[in-house]
C-alpha cells in the first residue's frame, strides 16, 4: 500500500520537476489536494475557506452538483472532437444572448489566447497596427500583453516597458501605454497617433474601478477617432453582472473577451463582436488578405461547454447576483470595520464581487497610486489570514456563491487575528 505523502514531500518533488517549484500561477508553498463547495484542503488535510476559487472560475464553488451532473452526462458521449458539437453551439448562443457586444463568438482554450486574438482581430479590421493599453492592465501572456503590466521602473507615457525576457524590441513600438482613469491622456495619444487599431482595457482594472464617465469617455473617443474598443472581460464577464461589465457600467465595446466563469471551471474562453467585425474569421467573406487564421485543439470542446452552459443557467436564476453582492459587501465591511477600529489606514478597492485592501491613505485610481504604504504589512495580514483558514491571493479576494454564514463568521474571526498581527 502506497504511503500518503505529506505536503512538504510534494513540495520537494515539485522543486525537482517544475521551474521555481511551481506552475507559475500561485505560491508553490501550498499543495491543494481537493475542493468542495466554498472550501479547499491542502495535502496535509488543513481546511481553508476558498476566496481564490481557481483565480475566479469557480463562482458557484467547487463541485457544484448541477455542473457535475452536466459534465458526467457528457463524458461518456465524448470529450473533444476538433469539430463542431451541439454543446459548443448552445454555449455560443447563450453568450450572444447575455453579452451586449456579441453577435458572434469564437472559442479558444484560455483567456490569454482570447486577448491575443482580440488584438489581432482589431488590427485585421482597421488595417492599423498600434494597440493602446493601460499601465498595470493584465491581458494574458502574449508579447503585446506583457508590456507595462507590472513595470518595476517608471517611465514616461506612452513608452512601453516589457515585463518578460524574450520579447523583441519591435513589439514595444506597436504599443502605447496610458494611465488608467485618465481620459485626457488617452485623447492626447489618439490625437497624436493615427495608426491605433484599438484601446484594450479591463473595465475593472485588476481591482481598480473605473471612475464615473471613464469607460463612456473611452467609447466616445474610439468613435471619434475610428478606433475599436476592446473590453477584456476574462475576469468581469458573468461576475460583475450576468452581462458582465458591459451590463454593470452601461458601456458596449466593439470586441470583448470572456473566460474563467465561461467554462464552468474547465479550460474555455471566447472572444466576441459584431458580425461585421467577426467576418475576418471567414475567408470566404474577406479573402486571403483579410482572413484571420484561428484554430485550437480544445476550442469549444463539449465538456467545458456543458459546464459553462449549466453555470450560466444557475447564474440566470432570480436573486443570484444580489446574493453574491451581499456576500461581498459583508466581506468588505468586516475588514473595514476591524481596520478602522484599530486605526489602520486602508482603502477597500474594487467591486463587491471582486476586491481587496490597500494599506494606504491615498486614493487608488491607477497602477501608480494603487500601492501599499508598507508592503510587509499586507504580507503579514494575508499570511495571518491563511494561518487561520482563509485562502486568498495577496492582491485579490473573490467571493463565491458557495460562501455560507458559517464561512463568514470564520472569516470574521480570521480578520480579527490578522488585524491584531499588523496593529
Residue 361 to residues 51, 258, 358, 372, Cα–Cα distance (Å): 25, 34, 9, 9
Name 258's bridge partners.
233, 270
| Spatial distance between the Cα atoms of 316 and 303, rounded to a whole number of angstroms | 20
Given 260, 279, 310, 392, the catalytic residue: 260
Per the CB < 8 A criterion, the answer to whether 275 and 103 are in contact is yes
Q: Dihedrals φ, ψ of 359, to 5°? A: -85, 85
Q: Determine which helix (DSSP H) or strand (DSSP E) holds 222, and give its type and residue range.
A: helix 214-225
Known catalytic membership, residue 396? no
Given 50, 115, 182, 232, the catalytic residue: 232
- CA pseudo-torsion sign 98, 99, 104, 107: negative
Given 48, 51, 125, 138, the catalytic residue: 138
Known catalytic membership, residue 138? yes
Residue reference for cell 486571403: 288
- CA pseudo-torsion sign 148, 25, 232, 350: negative
Q: Which three cell numbers stand for residue 60?
A: 458557484
Known catalytic membership, residue 182? no
HSE-CB of 206 using CA atoms within 13 angstroms: 23
| Spatial distance between the Cα atoms of 67 and 59, rounded to a whole number of angstroms | 12
Q: How many CB atoms lie within 10 A of CB 242?
A: 17
Instruction: Kindly list the catalytic residues.
Output: 138, 232, 260
Amino acid at each position: 500500500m502506497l504511503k500518503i505523502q505529506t505536503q512538504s514531500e510534494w513540495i520537494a518533488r515539485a522543486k525537482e520537476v517544475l521551474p521555481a517549484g511551481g506552475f507559475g500561477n500561485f505560491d508553490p508553498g501550498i499543495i491543494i489536494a481537493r475542493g468542495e463547495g466554498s472550501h479547499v484542503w491542502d495535502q496535509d488535510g488543513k481546511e481553508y475557506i476558498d476566496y481564490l476559487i481557481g483565480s475566479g472560475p469557480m463562482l458557484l464553488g467547487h463541485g457544484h452538483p448541477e455542473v457535475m451532473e452536466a459534465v458526467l452526462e457528457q463524458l461518456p458521449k465524448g470529450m473533444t472532437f476538433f469539430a463542431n458539437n451541439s454543446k459548443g453551439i448552445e454555449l455560443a448562443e447563450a453568450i450572444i444572448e447575455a453579452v451586449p457586444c456579441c453577435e458572434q463568438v469564437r472559442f479558444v482554450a484560455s483567456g490569454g489566447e482570447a486577448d491575443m486574438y482580440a488584438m489581432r482581430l482589431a488590427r485585421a479590421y482597421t488595417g492599423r497596427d498600434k494597440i493602446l493599453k493601460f499601465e498595470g492592465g493584465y491581458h494574458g501572456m502574449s508579447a503585446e500583453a506583457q508590456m507595462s503590466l507590472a513595470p518595476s521602473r517608471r517611465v514616461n507615457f506612452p513608452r512601453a516597458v516589457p515585463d518578460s525576457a524574450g520579447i523583441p524590441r519591435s513589439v514595444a513600438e506597436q504599443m502605447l501605454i496610458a494611465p488608467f482613469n485618465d481620459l485626457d491622456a488617452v485623447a492626447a495619444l489618439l490625437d497624436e497617433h493615427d495608426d491605433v487599431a484599438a484601446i484594450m482595457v479591463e473595465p475593472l482594472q485588476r481591482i481598480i474601478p473605473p471612475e464615473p464617465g471613464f469607460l463612456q469617455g473611452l467609447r466616445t473617443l474610439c468613435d471619434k477617432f475610428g478606433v475599436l474598443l476592446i473590453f477584456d472581460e476574462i475576469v468581469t464577464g458573468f461576475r460583475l453582472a450576468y452581462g458582465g461589465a458591459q451590463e454593470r457600467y452601461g458601456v458596449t465595446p466593439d470586441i470583448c473577451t470572456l473566460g474563467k466563469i465561461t467554462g464552468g471551471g474547465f479550460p474555455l474562453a471566447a472572444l466576441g463582436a459584431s458580425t461585421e467585425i467577426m467576418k475576418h474569421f471567414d475567408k470566404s467573406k474577406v479573402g486571403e488578405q483579410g482572413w484571420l487564421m484561428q484554430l485550437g485543439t480544445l476550442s469549444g470542446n463539449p465538456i467545458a461547454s456543458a459546464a459553462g452552459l449549466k453555470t450560466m443557467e444557475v447564474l440566470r436564476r432570480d436573486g443570484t447576483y444580489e446574493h453574491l453582492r451581499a456576500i461581498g459587501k459583508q466581506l468588505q465591511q468586516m475588514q473595514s470595520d476591524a481596520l478602522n477600529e484599530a486605526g489602520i489606514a486602508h482603502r477597500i478597492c474594487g467591486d463587491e464581487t471582486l476586491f481587496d485592501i490597500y494599506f494606504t491613505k491615498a486614493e487608488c485610481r491607477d497602477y501608480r497610486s494603487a500601492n501599499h504604504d508598507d508592503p510587509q504589512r499586507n504580507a503579514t495580514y494575508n499570511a495571518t489570514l491563511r494561518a487561520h483558514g482563509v485562502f486568498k491571493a495577496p492582491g485579490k479576494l473573490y467571493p463565491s456563491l458557495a460562501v455560507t454564514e458559517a464561512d463568514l463568521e470564520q472569516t470574521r474571526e480570521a480578520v480579527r487575528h490578522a488585524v491584531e498581527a499588523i496593529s
